Amino acid sequence: MRGLILYKQRPGFFRPQAYGINRLLEYAQENEIELKYVVPESLRIVDGRVLIDGKEISKPNFIIPRTGPYTDSSDLETIQSLEKLGVRSINTSSCIKVVNDKFASYQVLSQNSIPVPKTILAKLPVNKEVIEKEIDYPMVIKPLSGAQGKGVILGESFDVFKSIKDKEFLIQEFIKSSRGRDLRVFTIGLKAIACVERIGPQGDFRANFSLGGTVRPYPMSTVIEELAIKTVRALGLEIGGIDLLFEGDKFRVCEANFSPGFESIEKCFNLDIPEKIFNYIKDR
């Protein structure tokens, strides 16, 4: 089996997914899987040939995009070109395009009767009357794409919009019962592998592990499993990280990720996630 991991490495840019990439590479080396780490900018398709830094390589059987929220149109075109050559992308370019656009993904989930916070696509200048009629304070303001809670703020009043610089952004209902905590469900195929509770630093309404929060195992109930699987089916995700917000004894989907980290999942449950990922790829 031959494969490529696609990841965007930028000068001076911290690699938040180094753990996952290294684990995949280590497992591949130990199990006779030919796997290379590739920056999308170095990959070219010329007359049906696959080139890395101008040198032709054997056509891979599969690619694993780990480009996250930094995926741009050029990256998607590269993935699409490989798909046209018969290379299996885990996840597909069409899935990545939707998942990376938070508003588009919310629309898909809503159309499939999956509970999400009330969400408005907004532009500057913001219409105060319209926003306050639809969503109460405090309200969550987040960029159209992004990860690890970056750029997400909690607005206590209309003055919060004075600090917004993005031309377009999302305004979202704040689920108070989930302040500072949420669930991350890791999925492969149509299976929910494990679930962890993420608890943010004291005083922070976000629960991201990357922001200094803590993670602990959380029991996988039927409700959690069914909601996670319904979400990945609607979005077409093969490998996914589904974030759920607490709402009483129910949950709402906060967002979905197509290249989720899995360090906390492995450590909480003593799981071998690369083994499960590559077994999934082999089966297909």
pLDDT in tens, 237-282: 999 999 999 998 899 999 999 999 999 999 999 999 999 999 999 9
What residue spans define the domains of the chain? 2-89, 99-114+177-283, 119-174
* Mean pLDDT score, 142-154: 79
3-state SS assignment for residue 159: helix
Tokens found for residue 84: 């046209």
Bridge partners (DSSP) listed for residue 177: none
257 and 221 in contact (C-beta within 8 Å)?
no
pLDDT the model gives residue 56 = 96
Average pLDDT, the chain: 91
268 and 194 in contact (C-beta within 8 Å)?
yes
The fold of 2-89 is Rossmann fold (3.40.50)
Q: Please write down the long-range contacts of 269-273, taking CB distance under 8 Å and 24 or more positions apart.
A: 269/194, 269/217, 271/193, 271/194, 272/27, 273/20, 273/23, 273/186, 273/193
3-state SS assignment for residue 17: coil
Tokens found for residue 261: 């980290």
Task: Report the C-alpha gap between 269 and 197 in whole angstroms.
Answer: 12
pLDDT the model gives residue 206 = 58
Pairing of strands 34-38, 191-199: unpaired
Pairing of strands 2-6, 62-65: parallel
pLDDT the model gives residue 12 = 45
pLDDT in tens, 23-61: 999 999 999 999 998 998 899 999 999 999 999 999 999
| The domain made up of 119-174 is a member of CATH 3.30.1490.20 | yes
Q: What is the CATH number of domain 99-114+177-283?
A: 3.30.470.20
